[in-house]
Chain A
């Protein structure tokens, strides 16, 4: 068996996510972050942010709704039962703050096969309401026994 590659280069419909103050706080508490910029508007503003600011890895929260359907697409054809998250990269640009509306698109960058494993690479680009890039993500999923 071999991997299907017809989805390489495909883009999926954009998703939008409005960043909320309490959602940022919830995420920050789980990670154990205690900088007041994640909880307190005045502290965030004093630190130079427009509003309560999201931790960098909150990028997962606003980007996942875009990349999820890409991963589930039958044309991509990943066997979820044999899938592991192999690697992840984010590059951050403009901070994501409470009240921001973030639009994320997902694209399939590459599908390849090596030693009986399928490698599926997706890219997400998240931009804010001003059109500024917030975070670019590269998601690598590995499927055993393709």
Chain B
């Protein structure tokens, strides 16, 4: 892995989940909360439509973080996030980050996941061994 120094941007991860992604994430994770899979129910509770699972978006943040260690899952030591907005299917998600601390073979990265101006995950911090 390339050297990462304080202030460096990490490679951006862009993913556009398709319409049925929340169904597949529900099956994979066991979280069948209907606001993620039933558009009529989602609208009935005041949402524009089904929303993405926050933990799916956190999974993408974890993917971007492990990518710093050549995708090795054992190198991600800690990940802390705040969910600050609802994500929608069929809209591109961009995961970006900036190195906050670097040294002793590990980095701490500030990470954001956003759909346009909607920062669905903020104040996220990932600790990765390099």
- Interface residues, chain A, CB within 8 Å of chain B? 23, 26-27, 29-35, 37-38, 47-49, 53-57, 60-61, 64-65, 81, 84-92, 95, 138
Contacts and interface: CB of A to CB of B under 8 A. Distances in A.
Contacts of A38: 73
Contacts of B118: none
Interface in B71-109: 71-74, 76-83
Interface of B: 15, 21, 24-25, 27-31, 45, 54-56, 58-60, 62-63, 66, 71-74, 76-83
Contacts of A23: 28
Contact of B73 (A86, A88, A95): A95
Given A31-B59, A32-B63, A57-B59, A26 B79 contact: no
B55 A88 contact: yes
Contact of A33 (B21, B63, B80, B82): B63
Nearest to A95: B74
Contacts, number: 93
A30 B71 CA distance: 16
Contacts of B58: 57, 88
Nearest to A49: B74
A101 B78 CA distance: 22
Given A30-B24, A30-B25, A31-B59, A85 B78 contact: no
A63 B27 CA distance: 16
